[in-house]
Amino acid sequence: VVNSVALGINIDNPGDINDFYRIGKKLGEGNFGSVAKAAVKATGAVRAIKTIPIPPTKDERRLDFLRHEIKISKMVDHPSIIKLFEVFENNKKLHLVLELCRNGDLWEYMKSSSAGSSGLSEFDSAVVMQQLLRGVHYMHRSFICHRDLKAQNMLLTFKSKPPTTSTKSQPKTSLGKVAALLATATSTADNKESPFENSIRITDFGLSCNFNHG
């Protein structure tokens, strides 16, 4: 473990990331960095590597975002939250080694043809919300506030190919029925497993913070 001069936080691995990972296809790119698929050289385990150029020291706002993202990501360990394995710093770039989520984010899925014109079924919606609320409950019990929860920050990792839903319109559901669905959602409905079971991963902790009890 070494200390990052730019960020003032501990970096897990002082070595060169290319000595430990085979970095492959780029999966996406945004304003603040890119994400590529990678494999651990020693084991073949598949990962996602988020590469972020380290901002100049005068850009304190972006530096704070990075500090918070790394600090909070290291603190959390929950099935509904993306896992950060380790962090590298090479050539003025940070490399975050993350759990690979193969199916994009919930927002893109909802806009795609896979979701159909009616969106998710009531049961699948309940399964998604149950995972989200479990993750939020865990964070709040750990005195962490995410502060940027939205569909774009919920990644999907389906066990098999992404599910499709009917394009027929679905009847509206009362608030009471929604509450009942959330309370009783399990991995089976009408003897069928929901494809969304264990599929949600909360990500992006740049705006997160710790808070005091009470």
Backbone torsions φ then ψ of 131, nearest 5 degrees:
-65, -40
* pLDDT the model gives residue 139: 97
> 50 a known binding residue?
yes
CATH code of the region 106-210: 1.10.510.10
CATH topology match: 2-98 vs 106-210:
no
* Mean pLDDT value across residues 195-199: 91
164-174 pLDDT, tens digit per residue, is 654 444 455 55
Catalytic-residue membership of 124: no
Choosing from 77, 148, 190, 204, which is the catalytic residue?
A: 148
pLDDT greater than 90 at residue 148: yes
Answer for the pair 27, 36: CB distance below 8 angstroms, yes or no.
Answer: yes
| Tokens linked to 175 | 């608030």
Structure tokens at 150: 């939205």
80 pLDDT above the threshold of 70: yes
Q: Which residue has the tokens 């909070």?
A: 72
Structure tokens at 82: 């993306």
Question: Which pLDDT band holds residue 177 (cuts at 50, 70, 90)?
Answer: low
CA distances to 44, 88, 163, 164, 180 from 12, in Å: 20, 7, 37, 40, 44
Q: Where are the domains of the chain?
A: 2-98, 106-210
CATH class of 2-98: alpha beta
Which of 4, 47, 59, 2 is CA-nearest to residue 22?
47
CA dist 125 → 130, 158, 191, 195 (Å): 8, 15, 17, 11
